Amino acid sequence: MGDWNAVRISDERCGSVFCSQDAYFFNEFVDHNDLFEVPLGGLNFTWWNKSGRLIFPRGFSDHSPLILFQDKVDFRPTYFKIFDSWFDRHDFDDTVKIVWDSISVDSNLDIVAKFRLLKGHLKNWIHNTRSNEAKRLKEITSKIDELDIIIDSGYATNSEIDTRNTLSSEKNDLLKIIDLDSLQKAIVKW
C-alpha cells in the first residue's frame, strides 16, 4: 500500500495547483506497474490546502492509497551472496578480476561453472579479509587503550594524540563495515 502526493486527475486537487504533466507521468507510473486505486467512500478530501481546514483527524491519510501486488518469482538458487560492503574493500575488484581472468571455460555453457569457481575464491577471500579485519580491530583497540592511559596521565605528545585520532578513525571505519554487513544480513533473506 502506498500514500502518494501526486494526483491522477484535476478533480483530486482542491485549493492547490493541478499540473497535467505531473498527472500524466504519475498515471503512466501507475499503469506501467499494474497499480490500482482502492475505491473509497465518503468525503473526497481529508485535508484542504486552501483554508488549511482539517476534515478528518490526523490519523487518516490525506491521499488515495494504492495497493501493489507482487507475484513471487523464483529465479533459481542464488549462486553466491555479495555484501554491499565488499565493493568498498580495497582489494575486492582486483580479486574478482584476477580470479575471473584466470578461469578458462570451453563455451558459454560453462559460465555457471566459472561462477561456481569464483564463488569459492570469494568465500576464501572474505573469510581471510574478515579475519584480518578482526585482528586489526583488536590491535587498534589495544593501542587506543594504551594511548588513552598516556593521554589521561597528561604526558601525551601531539604525535600520540594524532596517532590516537587516526586509530580511532580507522576503528570507526572497520566497525561501520561490520555494522553494514550485519544490517544487510538482517534485511535480506538468502
Express each pLDDT in 59-74 by its tens digit: 445 455 545 555 666 5
- For residue 34, what is the DSSP state? T
Beta bridge partners of 2: 66
Grid coordinates representing 127 are 573469510
The parts of the chain modelled with pLDDT lower than 70 are 1-5, 13-15, 36-80, 105-109, 188-190
By the 10 Å C-beta count (0-12 exposed, 13-18 middle, 19+ buried), 174 is classed as: middle
Residue 49 pLDDT? 46
Sequence-distant (≥ 6) Cβ neighbours of residue 107 within 8 angstroms: none
Phi, psi (rounded to 5 degrees) for 80: -160, 160
Residue 167 pLDDT? 95
CB 36 within 8 A of CB 67: yes
Angle between helices 92-102 and 111-153 (to 10 degrees): 150
Residue 1 pLDDT? 45
> What is the pTM assigned to this prediction?
0.54
